[in-house]
Chain A
Amino acid sequence: MIKRTVCEEVLARAMSTGADYAEIFAEHTPSSSVYMVDRHIEDASSSITAGAGIRVMKGTRTVYGSTTDMTRTGLLRLARQVAEALDEGRAEVQIRLGDFRFRPAHPVLRPSSEVPKAEKAEVLKRCYFAAADAQDCIKQVKARIMDIDRNFLIANSEGKYIRDRQVRTRLAVTAVAEDSRGTESGFVGPGRRMGMEMFDSTVIPEEAGREAARIAIARLGASFCPAGKMTVAIENGFGGVIFHEACGHSLEATSVGTGTSQMAGKLGQKIACEKVTAIDDPTEKNAWGSIDVDDEGTLTHKIVLIEKGVLKSYMVDRLGARRMGMALTGSGRRQDYTFEPTSRMTNTYIDNGPDRNEDIISSIDYGLYAAQMGGGSVNPITGAFNFAVEEGYIVRGGRICECVKGASLIGTGSEVLMNIDMVGQNRKNGQGMCGSASGSIPNEVGQPLIRISSITVGGRN
């Protein structure tokens, strides 16, 4: 992509005004998607994201620049720009880059970018028609198959010259059901860090389509959820968004290092019930959010964030490490070369706990069972979060009863963590895209069935 000697020259130029660190991130990333609606392929598209970003640092000061011009001349021009913007003196620096290799832990058999689009279209159709033909009340389906083949190199003034290839493939299907009671939709979006072999046995396209239709149909007959404080059981899979939003973002160095996180200064303190152990694991084999090396060139490892309720670690990128005086955790991520990396999550989940799932439901006299969660957001300053319940059911007398819609769960991270009082044993992850300062990146969220003893449910009745 960029020759090592050119990288050495560019890094030296970037450090010529007193930087104590410089880094090049360059990528050539083809991606494609095929989209179906109205029972036909509406469009197919191809994108190429190609460009480079250069970052220089002096202490906790950073300057970042990006360009689509990856010629030697273009890169040297950008290096001069960022160096001039930093302006911390003058320095003659010589950079010698050495190869930095690692064993890829996420094998890809058939990279989607190398597979004819017609084959992807066949997979998409299997998913689409399973949703569209599920029941007569399914009036519309929109489905997309997407893949990305991220090829990047990172060269830095510590002498590292590292390359990686991250292949990801995802299906996304929305089914719309309509009858005399109204119109509702259901969404399913399974993805993996895999190629087209993902559809051999890991993700069955028909199952994804049927599940989207099932959610839409289930919501059709639902009345609006009652509002107020109640006990809530949240199912596994995408239910893990509660931890991602309520706690995960507050453990990122981006907010901890600036002192704005509610979790700042709490290492070693009990912040959750002892049944709660939470992990960020970029090493989960072929998982959607998995990475061998982060976007700053640091090798990744499993991070135990909370162990038996005690805060054990933050997620730390290079800038965060400087601000906080802590070691890198391989958590520096970015959407693409136009973004400066920040600390981000990968596959983040609450681990299995001691409680039997049936005991969790039967323990609730009156409350809500959130079978499917939607997305959410959080303010890391206050820890205030909210997220939507895609598919919810009232629980009465320890039994799951009627379906309700329009519910959202709101609270603060510190409060809800202490209120998780039962943790089940069926941990499963769900896939999504997380948006933050360094763009939109693939993440998994996960948990087993959990019980929150008391949380505010926003509803309409």
Chain B
Amino acid sequence: MKKETFEKIYAAVEEEAVKAGASDWELYYSGDGSLSAETFRDELSGFSAGQDGWMILRLKIGRKTGCANSTSATLSEAKKLVALAAENAALCEKEEEVFFAEGGQTYKELPPCTFRMPSAKAVKDAAMEMRRAAYASSDLISDGTSGGAYASLGETFYYSSRGLRLSDRSGSCGAYVYSVLEKDGDKRDAFKVVDGAFKKIDADAAAKEASEKAYARFGATVPPGGNYPIVFEGKQMQQILGTFLPVFFAKEAQQGTSLLAGKEGEKIGAENLTVVDDPFYEGNPMQASFDGEGSPTFTKTVIDRGVLKTLLYNLETAAKAGKTTTGNASRGGSSIGTKVYNFYIVPGAFSREELFKKAEGGIFVTGMKGFHAGANTVSGDFSIESEGFFIKDGKQGEAIKSFTVSGNFFDLLKNIAAIGDTIEDQNPGVSKVRCPDVFLESMPVAGA
């Protein structure tokens, strides 16, 4: 959306909001243009182009606030949103005062967005190149193998009655291969996603990595149950930390659904564990200078050598706790929530080989799924279907599958025995969790 268009819509909202008796209001717009392409067998099977966005209004009448949102960013829709938001405000029973970000604050100046949306042809060509590389990567390649590419350019506006006039713009693109290998009627698959300009992507290297990963999974057996030393691959630790992310949100703590409530300043993790949330993570094209309610963002240490330094706050939860916002407000369709930017475990001193030596006889976990069903974010308990490899003679050994790794997230934080020295290339994004490999001396595994 053009800035002038947004400003016209905002002016219409302002006029209607005043008529409705609102004392405060804010209009948030987030939209993007996107292109994606994918292949099937030897042809380009699908191509998508989207020009979509959300306009979200929040207003305050008396002590009550209400929200309404729409995909349709037009003048007439903006007026309807005011009426809907006013109806919602009338229903709200929240006692706490609701805050709007003040004007006059300092925001980090981001480098201007230099991303240029690639042409449809460039996206299609990139997908076909990934496909070519995938089919050339193994003699065992089979149906279902595909290549793909994507690009998006997003923009965000935040205007409010407090005089804030904020906007961010960022874009990214990338490509992927999906290798499906077949051997003796058995199939194994693996993905590899590479972000960055299409011309810089080494399609053959990506395809080789995916096919090798898929191949390594053939012949997997179910391991005997028992307690094992465990090395979680960074991507799996990322899934674990991502699943339990809400326990770091002040809102959950205040509602009694995070066991980290009241633990700020206390030791909740191992001495070697430091976790940072960084809106300006180096190399990530999707950076943000303001959060979902217009507050400035900044880099913060959440866990410092095992000690919980802060939960993540927005204006409301910060006021409730007598603190200041950490700039972590998210903007959903209906309300203000909490989000992270680049939330990561600071890498430690150990290479993967060194971690394997520590975990001799243990398991290297390279796949976990079913977190939405197998993890309880309230109690911290999890029991997750996994796959991976035995660790033998300090190296990755035979493939194993269909076992569950069980534990408790809060115990896991305390029991991290060593942390890998690298965060592998993981896709950029506005809200991301990133982790290096992590070693624990013993965890229960259910298998055969």
User: Which one of B77, B222, B381 contacts A456 once the chains associate, using CB atoms below 8 Å?
Assistant: B222
Question: Inside 8 A of A388's CB, which chain B residues have their CB?
Answer: 370, 373-374, 383
CB closest residue in chain A, given B369: A377
User: Which one of B67, B71, B80, B385 contacts A43 once the chains associate, using CB atoms below 8 Å?
Assistant: B67
Q: Does A363 contact B (CB under 8 A)?
A: no
Interface membership of chain A positions 27-40, coded 1 if the CB is closer than 8 angstroms to chain B and 0 otherwise: 00000011101101
**A458, B404: Cβ atoms closer than 8 Å:** yes
Q: Does A176 contact B (CB under 8 A)?
A: yes
CB closest residue in chain B, given A140: B256
Q: Does B120 contact A (CB under 8 A)?
A: yes
Question: Inside 8 A of A121's CB, which chain B residues have their CB?
Answer: 91
Interface membership of chain B positions 25-49, coded 1 if the CB is closer than 8 angstroms to chain A and 0 otherwise: 0000000000000001001111111
Q: Which chain B residues in 379-428 approach chain A with CB under 8 Å?
A: 379, 381, 383-385, 401-404, 406-407
Q: Does B300 contact A (CB under 8 A)?
A: no
Q: Does B52 contact A (CB under 8 A)?
A: yes
**B48, A47: Cβ atoms closer than 8 Å:** no
User: Which one of A67, A377, A459 contacts B50 once the chains associate, using CB atoms below 8 Å?
Assistant: A67
Choose, from A180-188, A287-295, A300-308, A310-318, the stretch at the interface: A180-188
Interface membership of chain B positions 64-78, coded 1 if the CB is closer than 8 angstroms to chain A and 0 otherwise: 011111111100010
Q: Does B88 contact A (CB under 8 A)?
A: yes
Q: Which chain B residues in 349-384 approach chain A with CB under 8 Å?
A: 369-370, 372-374, 376, 378-379, 381, 383-384
**A376, B84: Cβ atoms closer than 8 Å:** no
**A64, B48: Cβ atoms closer than 8 Å:** yes
Distance of A456 Cα from B222 Cα, bound (Å): 10
Q: Does B324 contact A (CB under 8 A)?
A: no
**A64, B70: Cβ atoms closer than 8 Å:** no
User: Which one of B77, B81, B91 contacts A44 once the chains associate, using CB atoms below 8 Å?
Assistant: B91
Question: Inside 8 A of B369's CB, which chain A residues have their CB?
Answer: 377, 379, 386
**A387, B259: Cβ atoms closer than 8 Å:** no
Distance of A410 Cα from B191 Cα, bound (Å): 22
Distance of A411 Cα from B334 Cα, bound (Å): 38
**A66, B187: Cβ atoms closer than 8 Å:** no
**B446, A228: Cβ atoms closer than 8 Å:** yes
**A140, B88: Cβ atoms closer than 8 Å:** no
Distance of A114 Cα from B307 Cα, bound (Å): 51
**A381, B144: Cβ atoms closer than 8 Å:** yes
Q: Does B87 contact A (CB under 8 A)?
A: yes
Interface membership of chain B positions 293-307, coded 1 if the CB is closer than 8 angstroms to chain A and 0 otherwise: 000000000000000
Distance of A85 Cα from B119 Cα, bound (Å): 10
Distance of A390 Cα from B40 Cα, bound (Å): 39
**A65, B50: Cβ atoms closer than 8 Å:** yes
Q: Which chain B residues in 210-259 approach chain A with CB under 8 Å?
A: 222, 225, 255-257, 259
Known contacts A42-B94, A228-B446; is A50 also within 8 Å of B50 by CB?
A: no
**B448, A229: Cβ atoms closer than 8 Å:** yes
**A46, B84: Cβ atoms closer than 8 Å:** yes
Interface membership of chain A positions 398-410, coded 1 if the CB is closer than 8 angstroms to chain B and 0 otherwise: 0000000111101
Distance of A388 Cα from B91 Cα, bound (Å): 36
Q: Does A82 contact B (CB under 8 A)?
A: yes
Known contacts A38-B255, A44-B88; is A460 also within 8 Å of B406 by CB?
A: yes
Choose, from A2-10, A55-63, A155-163, the stretch at the interface: A55-63
Known contacts A46-B85, A460-B406; is A63 also within 8 Å of B46 by CB?
A: yes
**B256, A176: Cβ atoms closer than 8 Å:** yes
**B334, A374: Cβ atoms closer than 8 Å:** no
User: Which one of B381, B384, B401 contacts A384 once the chains associate, using CB atoms below 8 Å?
Assistant: B401
Distance of A340 Cα from B50 Cα, bound (Å): 11
**A384, B69: Cβ atoms closer than 8 Å:** no
Q: Shortest distance in angstroms between A100's beta carbon and chain B's nearest beta carbon? A: 26
**A406, B406: Cβ atoms closer than 8 Å:** yes
Distance of A258 Cα from B69 Cα, bound (Å): 38
User: Which one of A44, A78, A178, A456 contacts B66 once the chains associate, using CB atoms below 8 Å?
Assistant: A44
Q: Does B93 contact A (CB under 8 A)?
A: yes
**A64, B402: Cβ atoms closer than 8 Å:** no
Known contacts A45-B68, A176-B256, A407-B383; is A260 also within 8 Å of B144 by CB?
A: yes
Q: Which chain A residues in 183-226 approach chain B with CB under 8 Å?
A: 183-185, 224
**B93, A41: Cβ atoms closer than 8 Å:** yes
Interface size on A, as a range, is 35 or more
**B381, A406: Cβ atoms closer than 8 Å:** yes
CB closest residue in chain A, given B186: A382
**B88, A43: Cβ atoms closer than 8 Å:** yes
Q: Shortest distance in angstroms between B357's beta carbon and chain A's nearest beta carbon? A: 27
**B401, A81: Cβ atoms closer than 8 Å:** no
Residue in B67, B379, B384 whose Cβ sees the most chain A Cβ within 10 Å: B379
Question: Inside 8 A of A62's CB, which chain B residues have their CB?
Answer: 45-47
Q: Does B23 contact A (CB under 8 A)?
A: no
User: Which one of A33, A61, A81, A176 contacts B44 once the chains associate, using CB atoms below 8 Å?
Assistant: A61
Known contacts A410-B385, A410-B404, A460-B383; is A47 also within 8 Å of B334 by CB?
A: yes
Q: Shortest distance in angstroms between A122's beta carbon and chain B's nearest beta carbon? A: 11
Q: Does B189 contact A (CB under 8 A)?
A: yes
Residue in B53, B222, B255 whose Cβ sees the most chain A Cβ within 10 Å: B255
Distance of A377 Cα from B333 Cα, bound (Å): 27
**A386, B370: Cβ atoms closer than 8 Å:** yes
**B222, A387: Cβ atoms closer than 8 Å:** no
Q: Which chain B residues in 116-149 approach chain A with CB under 8 Å?
A: 120, 124, 142-144
Q: Does B166 contact A (CB under 8 A)?
A: no
Question: Inside 8 A of B374's CB, which chain A residues have their CB?
Answer: 374, 386, 388, 408, 458
Q: Shortest distance in angstroms between B113's beta carbon and chain A's nearest beta carbon? A: 22
**B225, A184: Cβ atoms closer than 8 Å:** no
**B72, A68: Cβ atoms closer than 8 Å:** yes
Distance of A406 Cα from B180 Cα, bound (Å): 33
**A227, B378: Cβ atoms closer than 8 Å:** no
Question: Inside 8 A of A126's CB, which chain B residues have their CB?
Answer: none
**B93, A384: Cβ atoms closer than 8 Å:** no
Q: Which chain A residues in 106-158 approach chain B with CB under 8 Å?
A: 117-118, 121, 139-140, 142
28 A-B pairs in the complex with CB atoms less than 8 angstroms apart: A35-B334, A43-B66, A43-B334, A44-B91, A45-B66, A45-B67, A45-B334, A45-B335, A47-B333, A48-B80, A61-B43, A66-B49, A68-B52, A85-B124, A117-B88, A117-B91, A176-B378, A182-B379, A185-B376, A224-B406, A260-B180, A386-B370, A386-B384, A388-B383, A408-B385, A456-B446, A458-B383, A460-B383
Q: A46-B84, A47-B70, A176-B257 are in contact. List 13 more A-B contacts (CB 8 A).
A: A43-B65, A48-B80, A49-B71, A60-B43, A64-B47, A68-B52, A85-B124, A86-B47, A178-B256, A259-B142, A377-B370, A384-B402, A411-B402
Interface residues of A (CB under 8 A from B): 33-35, 37-38, 40-51, 60-70, 78, 81-82, 84-86, 117-118, 121, 139-140, 142, 176, 178, 182-185, 224, 227-229, 258-260, 338, 340, 374-377, 379, 381-382, 384, 386-388, 405-408, 410-411, 456-461
Interface residues of B (CB under 8 A from A): 40, 43-53, 65-73, 77, 80-81, 84-85, 87-88, 91-95, 120, 124, 142-144, 180, 187-189, 222, 225, 255-257, 259, 333-335, 369-370, 372-374, 376, 378-379, 381, 383-385, 401-404, 406-407, 444, 446-448
> Which 3 pairs, one residue from A and one from B, show the smallest C-beta to C-beta distance?
A458-B404, A45-B334, A227-B446
